[in-house]
Amino acid sequence: MSNVYNVAVVVGSLRKASINRKVALALAELAPANLKLNIVEIGELPLYNEDIDGDSPPAAYSTFRQKVGSSDALLFVTPEYNRSVPAPLKNAIDVGSRPYGKSVWSGKPGAVISVSPGAIGGFGANQHLRQSFVFLNVPCMQQPEAYLGGAGTAFDDAGKLNESVKPFLQSFINAFGEWVAQHKK
Ligand X SMILES: Cc1cc2nc3c(=O)[nH]c(=O)nc-3n(C[C@H](O)[C@H](O)[C@H](O)COP(=O)(O)O)c2cc1C
- Biggest CA-to-CA distance, the chain: 50
112 near ligand X, judged by CB under 6 A: no
Give 84 or 106: the residue with its C-beta nearer to ligand X: 84
Residue among 2, 56, 82, 164 that touches ligand X (CB under 6 A): 82
Interface region with ligand X, contact rule CB under 6 A, candidates 11-19, 34-42, 47-55, 131-139: 11-19
Residues between 12 and 71 with contacts to ligand X, criterion CB under 6 A: 13, 15, 18-20
Answer yes or no whether residue 160 interacts with ligand X by CB under 6 A.
Answer: no
Report residue 99 CA to chain centroid gap: 21
116 binds ligand X (CB under 6 A): yes
Q: From the list 27, 42, 80, 104, which residue makes contact with ligand X (rule: CB under 6 A)?
A: 80
The pair phi, psi for residue 55, each rounded to 5°, is: -65, -35
User: In this chain, which of 38, 47, 49, 83 binds ligand X, going by CB under 6 A?
Assistant: 83
Q: CB–CB of 123/147 below 8 Å? A: yes
117 binds ligand X (CB under 6 A): yes
What is the nearest approach in angstroms of ligand X to the Cβ of residue 134? Answer: 22
- Residue 118: CB minimum distance to ligand X, A: 3
CA angle 6, 68, 101 (to 5 degrees): 130
135: closest CA among 97, 95, 86, 173?
97
Nearest of 167, 72, 67, 70 to residue 110 by alpha carbon: 72
Closest CB 145 distance from ligand X, rounded Å: 16
What three-state secondary structure class fits 19? Answer: helix
Exactly one of 88, 96, 110, 122 binds ligand X (CB under 6 A); that residue is 122
Sheet holding 110-115, edge to edge: 35-39, 5-11, 73-78, 110-115, 147-148
Among 57, 58, 118, 150, binds ligand X (CB under 6 A): 118
Instruction: For helices 59-69 and 87-96, give the axis angle rounded to 10 degrees.
Output: 80
Chain residues that interact with ligand X, rule: CB under 6 A: 13, 15, 18-20, 79-83, 116-118, 122
